[in-house]
Amino acid sequence: MLKKRIIPCLDIKNGRTVKGINFVNIRDAGDPIELGEFYAQQGADELVFLDITATKEERKTFVELVRDIAHHLNIPFTVGGGISSVEDVAPLLQAGADKISVNSLAVKDPGLINELVDAFGSQCIVVAIDARFVDNRWIVHTHGGSRPTERELFSWAKEVEQRGAGEILFTSMDHDGTKQGFAIKALKKLGNEVTIPIIASGGAGTMEHFDEVFQEGEADAALAASIFHFREIGIPELKDHLRKNDIEVR
């Protein structure tokens, strides 16, 4: 079994790291490069940098920032936001990103996943899925969580896998920023529906939540933001806690 990964997520807006609750009420959380360096020193396994307004504002992810991040980091990182074509990806990988994440544009044009996989390989392509529980269904949302779609989480996840994506980053919009725990039932079902790795996102508040997401939710990696940004939980302490509970981490 692969060892579990701890992944801090840095949502970027206007070059700054920000954090919200349920995708709104955004507040500043610091400089992304300084935070990235700090997490690398702390023992984070990977980092995710998401330009959260790139799609809504029809901008491309800022390649210069990616280059700066790569210059300062020695751990793998994923970049997402506003990616709509193969041509968007090459500059990001050349600037130093290890993987790219697509979300809204993949929902609009699922063939984009195939094109990206053909051009760069599955290992480079993460599909992010933001979903909210509505009328007893997990409904996929796009554009920073602002637009509900006709797609349902589990069927979309299976299609994403069939199209060749290497990983799924699932964020429960209902749990995002609440610190009340991850969407365990949804994650467990997701793990039964697909075979590619799943990164769980949304709801981390305590070390016990990470126990739950790995043991009950069967996630391959757990992503969190505010608890790391505001120093509520340290990554070394978290990894020690998980090891004591017989959860193998990197």
Which residues have a catalytic role annotated? 11, 130
DSSP letter (8 states) at residue 54: T
Integer Rg of the chain from CA: 16
DSSP for 127-171? EEEEEEEETTEEEEEETTTTEEEEEEHHHHHHHHHHTT-SEEEEE
What are the tokens at 27?
């507040």
How far apart, in whole angstroms, are the C-alpha atoms of residue 105 and residue 27?
Answer: 26
List the helix and strand counts (H, then E) for the chain: 10, 12
Beta bridge partner(s), residue 138: 133
Q: What are phi and psi of 56, to 5 degrees?
A: -60, -40
* Class of residue 79 by CB neighbours under 10 A (exposed 0-12, middle 13-18, buried 19+): buried
Strand-pair category, 198-201 with 167-172: parallel
Given the structure tokens 């799924």, which residue do they identify? 168
